[in-house]
Amino acid sequence: MPPKFSKPAAPAPAATPVSRVAAASTKPQRLCPDYEDDIDYNLRLREKKAEERPLPDYLKKVQQDRVSESERATLVGWMDKFVRDHDLADGTLHHAVAYVDRVLSVRALTTGSGYELRLLGAAAIFVAAKYEDQKAVWKLNADAIAKYGEFATCKEVLDMEREMVEALGYQLGGPTAHTFLGHFMRYAEGQDKTKILPLATRLVDQSLLDYACVRILPSVVAASAIFLARWALNPVGDPARNMELTELTGYNCSDLTACVLVMFVFSRPLICNPRS
């Protein structure tokens, strides 16, 4: 059974974070108390910048059905395998998928072939890997990518990389759901670190496959993943834990209703078997 929420009319694009509640006496000592509020504020401000957000309906409005939701999901799955096969840094996949969604929001593919779409995904991984870890240049190069992706030449990869970065306006560092999950759980310890965080990470990763999550702010996706992970591992409602969730994320449970329902649908097997 899913969490008991009143069903909303439709997934909300974003919820406005509630005011931070007073810190509980059990809250861990903050590492950078002079800067953490500013860091949190700037992350939330940047995730809402229009130039760093994909269009919620870009598949129909821009691509005009050249790419389907299932084709996008297949691409994300291929990108995930690419990242794992090359042991790239955490966060690479999330940034790469964000790049793909943003590029497809401003530039229509010239053809409906999977080749061009896969080339865009490969170039996005190339850029995201270098952004996340400078040492990635020792793991990846255009020749290796061309061989892995079965592209005609490495020049295709480099040309797509240049076109993609230009389409992104050279804005490469916007926060993702992975960014916010790490931000929210930076003090995780005990069960939060050993059980909640790994399950929430898997839920956040799965959200990349679902086109419906494109329209939801990354911070809402991350907070919803934490809520679902806690609910899956401890289905009995706990008001104290809900208050702690608000302290961690700035969102009340009611703010997350729409996103939680969306994520529950595609993550039901994982949520129902969280220890598998």
Which value, in Å, is the radius of gyration of the alpha carbons in the chain? 19
pLDDT digits (tens, 9 = 90+) for 15-26: 545 444 333 334
Closest residue by Cα to residue 7 from 269, 220, 249, 261: 261
Residue type, 64: Q
- The separation between the first and the last C-alpha atoms of the chain, rounded to the nearest angstrom, is 18
Query: pLDDT category, 276, cuts 50, 70, 90?
Result: low
Q: How far apart are CA 136 and CA 130, in angstroms?
A: 5
Closest residue by Cα to residue 99 from 172, 204, 208: 172
Q: Which two tokens stand for residue 270?
A: 């994982």
Closest residue by Cα to residue 56 from 213, 165, 208, 225: 213
Domain ranges of the chain: 52-167, 187-272
Q: Which two tokens stand for residue 2?
A: 């899913």
Span 42-51, average pLDDT: 91
Helical spans, DSSP H, in 68-137: 69-85, 92-106, 114-132
pLDDT digits (tens, 9 = 90+) for 188-238: 777 788 899 999 999 999 999 999 999 999 999 999 999 999 988 887 666
pLDDT digits (tens, 9 = 90+) for 109-157: 987 678 999 999 999 999 999 999 888 878 889 999 999 999 999 999 9
Q: Which two tokens stand for residue 38?
A: 């500013």
Quick count: other Cβ atoms within 10 Å of Cβ 18?
Answer: 13
Domain formed by 52-167, architecture: Orthogonal Bundle (1.10)
In Å, how far are 97, 101, 160, 263 from 165, measured between CA atoms?
Answer: 14, 13, 9, 30
Q: Which two tokens stand for residue 174?
A: 């916007």
Q: How far apart are CA 208 and CA 52, in angstroms?
A: 16
Q: How far apart are CA 121 and CA 136, in angstroms?
A: 17
* pLDDT above 60: residue 27: no
In this predicted structure, what is the pLDDT of residue 29?
53
Q: What value does the mean pLDDT of the chain take?
A: 85
Span 22-35, average pLDDT: 52
